A and B are shown apart, each in its own frame.
Chain A
Amino acid sequence: MNIVVLVKQVPDTYSERKLADADHTLDRDSADAVLDEINERAVEEALQLQATHGGEVTVVCVGPDRATDAIRKALSMGADKAVHVSDAALHGSDAIATAKVLAKAVGTVEGVDLVLAGNEATDGRVGALPAMVAELLGLPALTHARKVEVDGSTVKVERETDEGVFFLEASLPAVISVNEKINEPRYPSFKGIMAAKKKPVSTLAIGDLGVDAGEVGLGGSWTQVTEAAPKPPRAAGQRVEDEGDGGVKVAEYLVGQKLI
Chain B
Amino acid sequence: MSFTESEERQALRSAVADFGARYGHEYFNAKARAGEKTTELWTEAGKLGYLGVAVPEEFGGGGGGIGDLAAVCEELAAVGCPMLLMVVSPAICATVIARFGTEAQKQQWLPGFADGTLKMAFAITEPDAGSNSHRLSTSIRREGEEWVLNGRKYYISGVDEVDAVLVVARHVDDKGQRLLPSLMIVPTDAPGFEFQPIEMDIVSPEKQFTLFFDEVRLPADALVGSPDAGIGQLFAGLNPERIMAASFSTGLARFAMAKATDYARTRKVWDTPIGAHQGLAHPLAHCAVQIELARLMTQKAAALYDSGQDKAAGEAANMAKYAAAEAAKDTVDQAIQVHGGNGLATEYGLGALLGATRVGRIAPVSREMILNFVSQHTLKLPRSY
Contacts and interface: CB of A to CB of B under 8 A. Distances in A.
A193 B18 contact: no
A196 B11 CA distance: 10
A194 B64 contact: yes
Contacts of B62: 190-191, 194
Interface in A64-95: 72-73, 76
Contacts of B8: 193-194, 196-197
Nearest to A196: B11
Given A193-B8, A194-B64, A76 B49 contact: no
Interface in A174-209: 187-191, 193-194, 196-197
Interface residues of A, number: 12
B86 to A, nearest CB: 14
Contacts of B68: 190
B103 interface: no
Interface string B1-34: 0000001100110010011000000000000000
Contacts, number: 39
A57 to B, nearest CB: 18
B63 interface: yes
A197 B49 CA distance: 17
Contacts of B305: none
A72 B7 contact: yes
A187 B47 CA distance: 10
A194 B63 contact: yes
A196 B9 CA distance: 12
Contact of A197 (B7, B15, B48, B52): B7
Given A189-B48, A190-B53, A194-B63, A73 B18 contact: no
Interface string A137-148: 000000000000
Interface residues of B, number: 17
B50 interface: yes
A190 B7 contact: no
Contact of B49 (A72, A73, A191, A196): A191
A187 B7 contact: no
Given A194-B62, A194-B63, A194-B64, A187 B11 contact: no
B19 A190 contact: no
A233 to B, nearest CB: 14
Contacts of A190: 12, 48-50, 52-53, 62, 64, 68
A62 to B, nearest CB: 22
Nearest to B15: A188
B17 to A, nearest CB: 10
A190 B53 CA distance: 7
A245 B19 CA distance: 45
Contacts of B12: 190, 193
Contacts of A193: 8, 11-12, 15
Most B Cβ at <10 Å: residue of A188, A191, A193, A197: A193
A76 B48 contact: no
A197 B68 CA distance: 16
Nearest to B14: A73
A77 to B, nearest CB: 9
Contacts of A187: 15, 18-19, 48
Interface string B44-74: 0001111011000000001110001000000
A76 B11 contact: yes
B232 to A, nearest CB: 29
The 8 A-B residue pairs whose C-beta atoms are closest, nearest first, are A190-B49, A190-B62, A187-B19, A189-B49, A189-B48, A188-B15, A193-B11, A190-B53
Interface of B: 7-8, 11-12, 15, 18-19, 47-50, 52-53, 62-64, 68
16 contacts: A187-B18, A187-B19, A188-B48, A189-B47, A189-B50, A190-B48, A190-B50, A190-B53, A190-B62, A190-B68, A193-B8, A193-B11, A194-B62, A194-B63, A196-B8, A196-B11
Interface of A: 72-73, 76, 187-191, 193-194, 196-197
Given A188-B11, A190-B48, A193-B15, 6 more contacts: A190-B12, A190-B62, A190-B64, A190-B68, A191-B62, A194-B64
